[in-house]
Amino acid sequence: DAGVIQSPRHEVTEMGQEVTLRCKPISGHNSLFWYRQTMMRGLELLIYFNNNVPIDDSGMPEDRFSAKMPNASFSTLKIQPSEPRDSAVYFCASRGSGNTIYFGEGSWLTVV
Amino acid sequence: TQLLEQSPQFLSIQEGENLTVYCNSSSVFSSLQWYRQEPGEGPVLLVTVVTGGEVKKLKRLTFQFGDARKDSSLHITAAQPGDTGLYLCAGGWSGSARQLTFGSGTQLTVLP
């Protein structure tokens, strides 16, 4: 079975450009999470959706970040405009009825 | 803010040695999970503990949840190079939409 699928795997962009990260959760999972991982801050929850509805977005750093989940099989995380301090690995994860959260392989973002 | 502190931050040992990593918090958690993350991958769940004092074993790995449900430990017996990775603890508590708070992680390297 396919796991959580993220794209792109790697992206290098210039400061000020828009970045869109994409996620396809595991089929049948009703919770979706976006995390950001850096050496300095570790793994941080950015936003959490349940049944496609944003439940908690208090982890979203600022207005430059936005996330959508138009349907149960797709979510996006957008950064506009991007800044060098946004460089990190962004993970999407999903969960079904149990306690296990399944992570994607991550999107490695570098903003120069 | 619920914080999880992990120690040590870095650990490098020889194959065959035993080790213990710790996860501590001032908050009481309803559950605690341990994940392992390998380079270029997302975290993968190893175990979930929910009862104070609970001990779970996964082959050479032993996980313990503190009696007060504020701390946890992971003990690895006869470590192998394949155990190398970033070990993350994550605490959950009922009634919170955030679901999980991740610790800072312990980077383990097992040398052959």
- Per CB-CB distance under 8 Å, the chain A contacts of B33 are 99
| Cis, bond preceding A8 (omega within 30 deg of 0) | yes
CB-based contact A43 B92, cutoff 8 Å: no
Nearest to A11 by CA among A108, A77, A112, A83: A108
Instruction: Report pLDDT for B95.
Output: 57
**What number of other Cβ atoms are within 10 A of residue B95's Cβ?**
5
Q: What confidence score (pLDDT) does residue B2 get? A: 56
Q: Record the tokens describing residue A100, joined without a space.
A: 């296990």
Q: A30-72: per-residue pLDDT in tens?
A: 999 999 999 888 999 999 999 999 998 988 988 999 999 999 9
ω into B8 cis (within 30 of 0) = yes
On the question of pLDDT at B9 being above 80, the answer is yes
What is the pLDDT confidence band of residue A2, given thresholds at 50, 70 and 90? confident
Partner residue opposite B43 with nearest CB, options A31, A45, A103? A103
